Chains A and B, each alone.
Chain A
Amino acid sequence: AQSVTQLDSQVPVFEEAPVELRCNYSSSVSVYLFWYVQYPNQGLQLLLKYLSGSTLVKGINGFEAEFNKSQTSFHLRKPSVHISDTAEYFCAVSSGTYKYIFGTGTRLKVLA
Chain B
Amino acid sequence: DAGVIQSPRHEVTEMGQEVTLRCKPISGHNSLFWYRQTMMRGLELLIYFNNNVPIDDSGMPEDRFSAKMPNASFSTLKIQPSEPRDSAVYFCASRWRVEGDQTQYFGPGTRLLVL
Asked whether B1 is an interface residue with its Cβ less than 8 Å from the other chain, the reply is: no
Report whether B100 and A43 are in contact in the complex, using a CB–CB cutoff of 8 Å: no
Q: Find B103's partner among A49, A52, A97, A102 (CB 8 Å cutoff).
A: A49
Asked whether A56 is an interface residue with its Cβ less than 8 Å from the other chain, the reply is: no
Q: Find B42's partner among A36, A49, A97, A104 (CB 8 Å cutoff).
A: A104
Contacts of B91 in A (CB 8 A): 43-44
Contacts of B93 in A (CB 8 A): 44
Report whether A99 and B45 are in contact in the complex, using a CB–CB cutoff of 8 Å: yes
Whether A43 touches B109, Cβ cut-off 8 Å, given contacts A49-B103, A51-B100, A51-B101, is yes
Q: Could you count the A-B residue pairs with CB atoms below 8 Å apart for me: how many are there?
A: 45
Whether A43 touches B102, Cβ cut-off 8 Å, given contacts A98-B31, A102-B43, A104-B42, is no
The count of residues in chain B whose C-beta lies closer than 8 Å to any C-beta of chain A is 24
Contacts of B4 in A (CB 8 A): 43
Q: Find A98's partner among B43, B55, B106, B111 (CB 8 Å cutoff).
A: B55
Asked whether A90 is an interface residue with its Cβ less than 8 Å from the other chain, the reply is: yes
Asked whether A94 is an interface residue with its Cβ less than 8 Å from the other chain, the reply is: yes
Complex interface bits, B49-73 against A, C-beta within 8 A gives 1, otherwise 0: 0100001100000000000000000
* A-B complex: 9 closest residue pairs judged by Cβ atoms: A44-B106, A43-B108, A94-B102, A43-B106, A102-B43, A43-B109, A32-B102, A98-B48, A43-B107
The contact sample of 23 A-B pairs, CB cut-off 8 A, is A36-B106, A42-B108, A43-B91, A43-B106, A43-B107, A43-B109, A44-B106, A45-B106, A46-B103, A90-B43, A94-B102, A97-B102, A98-B33, A98-B50, A98-B55, A98-B97, A98-B102, A99-B45, A99-B56, A100-B45, A100-B104, A102-B42, A105-B42
